[in-house]
């Protein structure tokens, strides 16, 4: 695998406006510390003391709301920092990390997708489970089709969307279906959990098997139906610092925030379970 030359991170372009102002007023961009004279040989404790600059966090689509909140809290607590997120299917994030995408932290929705990264030895620290998530059925508001169980979804007249098997929510749904010996033919295997949920939000599908947290995040646009089989497929969410990180002090501080009592409060409020 030939590594591409490290260019400026494209994600940063999106956050140009605010970031540029911040960088100008702070008179230092993280790129300066990349070529660092100071940070490279510093010990961990010194690095922890120096929390500044930009970090990029690759996180599973289901973490979108809670991590955005945590990112804002982090920037408020440490002026001069900027947390840029890239949310998507855990599998495609893992693939881009092993493909050399410049990221500091990876939070995935399953140990299996994290394993892709650790197998390629692209992680700097051992992954730690920070939350767990359970599946739920998202139906149209008011549940017009009277969906009450996983078995109800096998009804041929219902348009059901699942996540693709390559994505953790799809793998978990498959596990739950296999455990309950049900055969479900969806109309589509979506590329990540948010696009599966949004097909129900847009009323294009009647139901989707997604996470509790997604149902909660969608507010009154969908209605959640719990089903007992979901206990057979609870997902652990691991988080890890990446080898590619050029700002390990700040990245470690962000991981610490996610795992702290304060971070857990935000995550459980979003519907995640404690590890």
Partner 1 sequence: MTFRSPGRADAADTLTGGPRRRRALRGGAPLPLLVPALIGLAFLTLPLVALLIRAPWRSMPDLLTSSEVWQALRLSLVCATAATAVSLVIGVPLAWLLARVDFPGRGVVRALVTLPLVLPPVVGGVALLMALGRNGVVGKWLDTWFGITLPFTTTGVVIAEAFVAMPFLVISVEGTLRAADPRFEEAAATLGASRFTAFRRVTLPLIAPGIAAGAVLAWARALGEFGATITFAGNFPGRTQTMPLAVYLALQNDPESAIALSLVLLAVSVAVLAGLRDRWMTAS
The site for partner 1 (CB under 8 A) is made up of 89, 91-92, 94-95, 159, 161, 164, 166-167, 186-191, 199, 202-205
- Which residues, other chains included, contact 226 with Cβ-Cβ below 8 Å and sequence gap of 6+? 136, 137, 212
Within 10 angstroms of residue 68's Cβ, the number of other Cβ atoms is 15
CB of 153 to partner 1, least distance (A): 15
Ramachandran angles phi, psi of 210, nearest 5°:
-130, -170
CB of 139 to partner 1, least distance (A): 15
Annotate 148-179 with b (16+ C-beta within 10 A) or e (fewer): eebebbeeeebbbbbbbebbbbbbbbbbbbee
CB of 238 to partner 1, least distance (A): 18
Compute the chain's Rg from CA coordinates: 20
Looking at beta carbons only, is 89 or 127 nearer to partner 1? 89
Looking at beta carbons only, is 6 or 165 nearer to partner 1? 165
CB of 202 to partner 1, least distance (A): 6
Looking at beta carbons only, is 112 or 243 nearer to partner 1? 112
State how far the Cα of 13 lies from the Cα of 122, in Å rounded to an integer. Answer: 24
Looking at beta carbons only, is 136 or 190 nearer to partner 1? 190
DSSP 189-219: EESSHHHHHHHHHTTSSSEEEEEHHHHHHTG
Angle between helices 111-119 and 90-98 (to 10 degrees): 10
State how far the Cα of 87 lies from the Cα of 67, in Å rounded to an integer. Answer: 10
CB of 6 to partner 1, least distance (A): 18
CB of 35 to partner 1, least distance (A): 26
CB of 188 to partner 1, least distance (A): 3
Looking at beta carbons only, is 99 or 228 nearer to partner 1? 99
Looking at beta carbons only, is 190 or 244 nearer to partner 1? 190
- Which residues, other chains included, contact 200 with Cβ-Cβ below 8 Å and sequence gap of 6+? 138, 139, 140, 161, 206, 207, 208, 222
Looking at beta carbons only, is 39 or 89 nearer to partner 1? 89
């Amino acid at each position: 695998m030939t590594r591409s030359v490290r260019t400026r991170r494209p994600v940063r372009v999106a956050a140009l406006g605010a970031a540029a102002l911040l960088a100008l007023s702070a008179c230092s961009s993280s790129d300066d510390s990349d070529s660092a004279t100071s940070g490279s040989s510093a010990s961990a404790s010194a690095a922890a003391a120096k929390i500044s600059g930009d970090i990029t966090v690759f996180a599973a689509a289901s973490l979108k709301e809670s991590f955005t909140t945590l990112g804002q809290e982090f920037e408020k607590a440490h002026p001069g920092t900027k947390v840029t997120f890239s949310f998507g299917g855990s599998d495609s994030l893992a693939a881009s990390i092993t493909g050399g995408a410049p990221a500091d932290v990876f939070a995935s929705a399953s140990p299996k997708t994290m394993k892709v990264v650790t197998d390629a030895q692209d992680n700097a620290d051992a992954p730690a489970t920070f939350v767990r998530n359970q599946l739920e059925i998202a139906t149209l508001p008011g549940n017009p089709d009277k969906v009450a169980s996983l078995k109800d979804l096998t009804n041929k007249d219902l348009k059901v969307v699942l996540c693709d098997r390559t994505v953790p929510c799809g793998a978990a749904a498959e596990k739950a279906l296999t455990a309950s010996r049900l055969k479900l033919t969806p109309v589509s295997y979506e590329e990540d959990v948010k696009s599966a949920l949004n097909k129900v939000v847009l009323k294009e599908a009647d139901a989707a098997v997604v996470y509790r947290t997604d149902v909660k995040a969608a507010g009154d646009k969908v209605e959640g139906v719990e089903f007992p089989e979901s206990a057979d497929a609870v997902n652990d969410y691991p988080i890890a610092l990446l080898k590619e990180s050029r700002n390990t002090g700040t990245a470690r501080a962000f991981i610490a925030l996610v795992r702290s009592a304060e971070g857990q409060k935000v995550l459980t409020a979003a519907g995640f379970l404690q590890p």
